[in-house]
Amino acid sequence: MEIKNKEKILEILDNAYGYNPFNGCCLMFAEALQMKYGGEIYVVYSKKFAEHAVLFLDGKLHDFAYSLEPESFIKRLNEDWSEGYKIIGYRKFEEEDLRDMKRDKELSSEIVKYI
């Protein structure tokens, strides 16, 4: 899945919240992907808790940077992220997950225009 206008999406999120799809707006971005393509919201998690929201669709996990089969997606995150924790799995999103992430259905709808 290709994101058409990443710069515009980054600008929208930065102007609204000062965050991007990897540091506070991952759930909002995953919801925008879901609005456009369907699928289900999932999270990838470490031993401690859910770390990042993604879209699960057609056997792949999708976010702002990647559209990969789950094992490859997790491997890439673990290679690219340097926060000091390791992603060990993925599962369906639950409402208690990612409570600190921004959620704004109106803004997600705006982002859909640029995906």
Helices (H), 53-94: 70-80
pLDDT on residue 45: 95
Mean pLDDT by 10 residues, the chain (115 residues): 92 94 93 97 94 97 96 93 82 94 93 95
Nearest to residue 50, comparing CAs of 17, 18, 26? 26
Owning domain of residue 52? 6-112
Q: Which residues fall within 8 angstroms of residue 35, CB to CB, at 6 or more apart?
A: 108, 109, 112
Tokens at 48, concatenated: 């401690």
Other C-beta atoms within 10 Å of 15: how many? 9
pLDDT on residue 80: 85
**Predicted structure pTM score:** 0.93
pLDDT on residue 102: 87
Q: Quick check: is 67 in a domain?
A: yes
pLDDT on residue 4: 87
Total domains present in the chain:
1
Q: Quick check: is 1 in a domain?
A: no
Q: Contact at 8 Å (CB) between 31 and 103? A: yes
Q: Quick check: is 79 in a domain?
A: yes
pLDDT on residue 82: 65
Q: Which residue has the tokens 């799809």?
A: 21
pLDDT on residue 48: 87
